[in-house]
Amino acid sequence: MTTRTLIRDLAHLPDGSEVSVSGWVETVRDQKKVQFVILRDETGSLQLVNPATREGDEAAATNPEALELTESISTLTHGSMLSVAGTLKHDERVKLGGLEVKIGSVDLASLSLPELPIAEDSSVDKRMDWRFVDLRRPDAQLLFRVQTTFEHALRGWWIERDFIEIHTPKLMASASESRAELFEVPYFETTAYLAQSPQFFKQMAQSAGFGRIFEIAPAFRADPSFTARHATEFTSVDMEVSWIDSHENVMVMHEELLTAGIQSVVERHGEAIRDRIGVELVTPTGAFPRVALQEAREKVAADGYTIPREDGDLDPEAERRLSALIKAETGSDFVFVTDYDTAIRPFYHMRHDDNPALTKSYDLLYNGTEIATGAQREHRIDVLEAQAQDKGMSLEDLEHYLDFFRYGVPPHGGFGMGLARVIMLMLEQTSIRESTYLFRGPNRLQP
């Protein structure tokens, strides 16, 4: 097997080096005397050059290999995959990094159809139809390099603090939150449900004595939303910790975790994000602002907006307005909205002792959009049962979950956060479709 050199590594090799590069064709300029091919791999683009030998040329009679090479280059189409062996030349006149390779031989791996199914100005839905071609864009690949770095930094933060990574089942016998958002799946002689979140199982880990756990895994919501920030299948980032005093402990860890993740992205990709996407990503400093939900409502009302939801929860426009106000006041892209009404929150959120109408919970907004929900959980079995009944839930349906709390469980709390939504907002994308490898929504199950 010939040793392949990535395009980004060519600059470190001396002029005249014999190299082998592999990738796909971006452009072919087939001129009479010379042929230029722009080749791209996962790290960058490179100019390839070949002095053309045409039928009838004097050189064609004496060098049939050169004629064959010229003719093979003439047949190349946009997207064709190939390997090229040749001689590296450093030339500052070449716009693509001051490098080019004189083609010695071409090994065509696969020839693309001549007309690509999408163009640069294709709609997002059209691009999703042909996602494997769409993802060849450098900007698209950068999103997933950022995601890789971000996830690695989160895992590093957790592992340094002795967290345990768990993998919870995605087939469940009953709902973890709302039955209205469940996907039903035939399961032998019964019905199973795709997990909306790992909520119940990460709480089980607290009863099991794991102390601190995390998971990055798929979750499913049968939510018929067609917004730019919703998906029916998404990657959920979850954390749960024992022996906390309140939801404030969870928020402190949450902001430290996100700061570590963003800092790693800035250090590794900050320049590329600025050059390719036009975003100047900055690492957060200090604690994120905290605003109680009631205060948030008052701020938004003073800004001239009336929240239309009957339960008083912030809608997307209220989130945008509140975030803009906090940004103007503090300079922060983040804001914790805390102390949600009991009516808005799940039965397992702990309520304030001095005001049981409010929960020890929060939403985290980032650049105007909610990315996470966190809370201290109720760990006292009698209180938990009463809160479930208060929500009209059947204790019989919750029997296996409630068993977690019958044999001792410490005070605990945690959060769930949407990975693709964080990346979308971090890189200022217009839709979660851009930051999801293969998007799933109410009307999309392919590719």
- What confidence score (pLDDT) does residue 181 get? 84
Mean pLDDT of 88-98: 92
- What confidence score (pLDDT) does residue 54 get? 80
User: 1 pLDDT exceeds 60?
Assistant: no
Percent of the chain with pLDDT over 90: 89
For residue 247 the two structure tokens come to 């939801």
Is 221 among the annotated ligand-binding positions? yes
Percent of the chain with pLDDT over 70: 97
CA–CA dist 23, 304 (Å, integer): 54
- What confidence score (pLDDT) does residue 442 get? 94
The four Cα atoms 416, 419, 425, 430 give a dihedral, to 10 degrees, of: -120
- What confidence score (pLDDT) does residue 79 get? 95
User: 298 pLDDT exceeds 70?
Assistant: yes
- What confidence score (pLDDT) does residue 174 get? 76
Q: What is the mean pLDDT of the chain?
A: 94
User: 176 pLDDT exceeds 80?
Assistant: no
Instruction: List pLDDT tens digits, range 270-293.
Output: 999 999 999 999 999 999 999 999
Tell me the domain boundaries of the chain. Answer: 7-110, 128-426
- What confidence score (pLDDT) does residue 180 get? 67
- What confidence score (pLDDT) does residue 102 get? 97
Is 257 among the annotated ligand-binding positions? no
- What confidence score (pLDDT) does residue 244 get? 98
Three-class SS of the chain: CCCCCCHHHHHHCCCCCEEEEEEEEEEEEECCCEEEEEEEECCEEEEEEEECCCCCCHHHHHCHHHHHHHHHHHCCCCCCEEEEEEEEEECCCCCCCCEEEEEEEEEEEECCCCCCCCCCCCCHHHHHHCHHHHCCCHHHHHHHHHHHHHHHHHHHHHHHCCCEECCCCCEECCCCCCHHHCCEEEECCEEEEECCCCHHHHHHHHHCCCCEEEEEEEEECCCCCCCCCCCCEEEEEEEEEECCCCHHHHHHHHHHHHHHHHHHHHHHHHHHHHHHHCCCCCCCCCCCCEEEHHHHHHHHHHCCCCCCCCCCCCCHHHHHHHHHHHHHHHCCCEEEEECCECCCCCCCECECCCCCCEECEEEEEECCEEEEEEEEECCCHHHHHHHHHHCCCCCCCCHHHHHCCCCCCCCEEEEEEEHHHHHHHHCCCCCCCCCCCCCCECCECCC
pTM of the model: 0.93
Instruction: List pLDDT tens digits, range 357-368.
Output: 999 999 999 999
Q: Measuring CA to CA, how many Å separate 111 from each of 95, 312, 393?
A: 27, 57, 59
Q: CA Rg, the chain, in Å?
A: 28
User: 216 pLDDT exceeds 60?
Assistant: yes
Instruction: List pLDDT tens digits, range 309-336.
Output: 988 899 999 999 999 999 999 999 999 9
Q: What is the fold, at CATH topology level, of the domain defined by 128-426?
A: BirA Bifunctional Protein; domain 2 (3.30.930)
Is 373 among the annotated ligand-binding positions? yes
Mean pLDDT of 37-60: 88
Exposed, middle or buried: residue 229 (CB in 10 Å: 0-12, 13-18, 19+)?
middle
Instruction: List pLDDT tens digits, range 381-430.
Output: 999 999 999 999 999 989 999 999 999 999 999 999 999 999 999 999 99
Mean pLDDT of 21-37: 95
User: 175 pLDDT exceeds 70?
Assistant: no
CATH superfamily entry for domain 7-110: Nucleic acid-binding proteins (2.40.50.140)
Is 208 among the annotated ligand-binding positions? no
Is 175 among the annotated ligand-binding positions? no
Mean pLDDT of 185-200: 95
Is 370 among the annotated ligand-binding positions? yes
Could you tell me the pLDDT band of residue 178, with boundaries at 50, 70 and 90?
low
CA–CA dist 225, 35 (Å, integer): 50
Is 377 among the annotated ligand-binding positions? yes
Mean pLDDT of 127-144: 96
Exposed, middle or buried: residue 246 (CB in 10 Å: 0-12, 13-18, 19+)?
middle
Instruction: List pLDDT tens digits, range 104-125.
Output: 999 999 999 999 999 989 999 9
Please, are residues 440 and 231 in contact by the beta-carbon 8 Å criterion?
A: yes
